[in-house]
A and B are shown apart, each in its own frame.
Chain A
């Protein structure tokens, strides 16, 4: 079991100021990533507690509206996790997702969001450790980027 991928605690926090706790949303595909997330949990891998997982039947189920609404409602980052290319349960769902996320990354820039606030990752059912590392990295990235522009950040 690996717990070496630790997350930073909030840096440079003034006294009395509440550390930044990012709100992250993770969409996991039912067949691979959700099982990977489950494995990470069962293996007791340490992860920052700032994310909420939503299980979808396929990463392609993640409509662009879901992502835009998440940001609109104050999410600091959105992670979409799906099966590896060519491993999709529905044959080609993840290819559609890849294209859609590329498009959404461009669009969120028009709203003033950094494209790094949206991330796509392939996580298979056996990659609990990869899921943990992805969550830790993503949390660190969002902590560096700060609060969502909608909540007063940059």
Chain B
């Protein structure tokens, strides 16, 4: 049974909380504000808030898409219909997810490529954990 968008967003939010990107950004708040980033650029508190907020938004959307693609191969149109995220944004997310090998192309549906989530390490194709 397909879960509602609200339920999917909550699950995506929980994955975001558990994910590394936002947690690390939060953990490095003190260092970033006191000594700047790796390029030595000073970061103000409002700027930091914007960065973290943006990262949280992006991670939430990516997790939402990833969840959808874990259920089976999806085209960008199908992802748009299921999540309500704008198509150009979905394309950007899919490119990023492909780069991190979290998503792979699974075939074509008409003229649209279908994408699905890559099986996690230590997991068989049937989803069983070794």
- Contact of B57 with A68 in the complex, beta carbons under 8 Å: no
Contact of A107 among B6, B16, B27 (CB under 8 A): B16
The reply to whether the CB of A154 lies closer than 8 angstroms to some CB of chain B is no
Complex alpha-carbon distance, A106 and B51, angstroms: 11
- Contact of B17 with A69 in the complex, beta carbons under 8 Å: no
The reply to whether the CB of B53 lies closer than 8 angstroms to some CB of chain A is yes
Q: Count the A residues whose beta carbon is within 8 Å of the partner chain — how many?
A: 15
A65 in contact with B14 given A99-B27, A103-B26 (CB within 8 Å): yes
Chain A residues contacting B17 (CB-CB under 8 Å) are 64, 100, 103-104, 107
Chain A residues contacting B52 (CB-CB under 8 Å) are 106
- Contact of B57 with A110 in the complex, beta carbons under 8 Å: yes
Complex alpha-carbon distance, A99 and B27, angstroms: 8
- Contact of B56 with A68 in the complex, beta carbons under 8 Å: no
Complex alpha-carbon distance, A36 and B32, angstroms: 36
Chain A residues contacting B96 (CB-CB under 8 Å) are none
Q: Is the interface of B mostly helix, strand, loop or mixed?
A: helix
The listed residue with most A CB atoms (<10 A of its CB), out of B6, B16, B17, B26, is B17
What are 21 A-B contacts with C-beta separation under 8 Å? A64-B13, A64-B17, A65-B10, A68-B10, A68-B14, A72-B10, A99-B26, A99-B27, A103-B17, A103-B22, A103-B23, A103-B26, A106-B22, A107-B13, A107-B16, A107-B17, A107-B56, A107-B60, A109-B56, A110-B57, A111-B13
Closest 8 CB pairs of A and B: A64-B17, A106-B56, A107-B13, A68-B10, A110-B60, A110-B57, A65-B14, A103-B26
B: which residues have CB within 8 A of A? Answer: 6, 9-10, 13-14, 16-17, 22-23, 26-27, 52-53, 56-57, 60
